[in-house]
Chain A
């Protein structure tokens, strides 16, 4: 769910669904997964919230399993709002609904506060985030598992970042690229992905196709994502 404030003062409900398929080849596991993640979002003025949870089929080292991923709840507030620039803060909370053993969940709750900014010198939109992610358990308790889970790996404690840009090419079509990653604090590994995206639609309904490449930290070798959001 985008956090840019295109609807300052208005209320908006958004329903979305994301389909993804990936292949991974880490130090310990090789395989693939497919997932579907329904989401719901709400914005009113400068405040917004969203929630999403993934349902996965994963094949890891020859074992096929189905299961929930970790649930994500996000709250965000727009602090700066102008025609060209929006900026604000967000708090992502991840709940361990996914099985750690199956590679579908972190095994513990995570909190990820961040700041974000979107600059829109039309027809270009540039966006960036910077944040911090931390497992909500004692980090000296011997539970450090490095990058987990297989479906969306993170470190137990890390600095997170993302940056990207999109270009409106007409007829409601936008093309763009983005990168995102995490830098571990303490034990862990740096992770980074790169992605190219094409999105199209109207303010009411948008659909995007994104092809992602794992650059560092073995998040996946290749992942494809198709997402659609309907706004009311």
Chain B
């Protein structure tokens, strides 16, 4: 019984909310204010592509999953739900799993600095942009 209490107490200390879809819906009509050029590319460059880049080999990615690359709009739209659930904010969730606490100063480098963190507004805009961008026509 003591072991069970210990395990449950440990779990309470260590478990965090899992990545959760924010269930953000793009307004109709799409306002078109948040785009890859006006928002998405800068967000990904500021917070993600030091690890989530197609230019990095597996051993250079500091734990970022292979094929989870955010250096192009096409690759972002490959897994928008995943990005939303890890870093987005919306009606159903406020996700802060990404970026992590430590980041590299150079792509693929050592984790030698604290990661810059998006503001709550940026996380909300991320989810809203993804909700709209996924429904827009693309040529790729």
Contacts and interface: CB of A to CB of B under 8 A. Distances in A.
Contacts of A65: 63
Contacts, number: 80
Interface residues of A, number: 30
Interface stretch (A95-103, A111-119, A194-202): A95-103
A142 B3 CA distance: 33
A63 B11 contact: no
B60 interface: yes
A148 B74 CA distance: 26
Contacts of A225: none
B67 A96 contact: no
Given A51-B4, A61-B58, A143-B19, A71 B68 contact: no
Interface in A23-76: 27-30, 40, 51, 53, 60-63, 65, 68, 71, 73
A30 B14 contact: no
Nearest to B97: A101
Contacts of A101: 19, 97, 100
Contacts of B15: 95-97, 105
Contacts of B97: 101
Interface of A: 27-30, 40, 51, 53, 60-63, 65, 68, 71, 73, 95-102, 105, 107-108, 137, 141-143
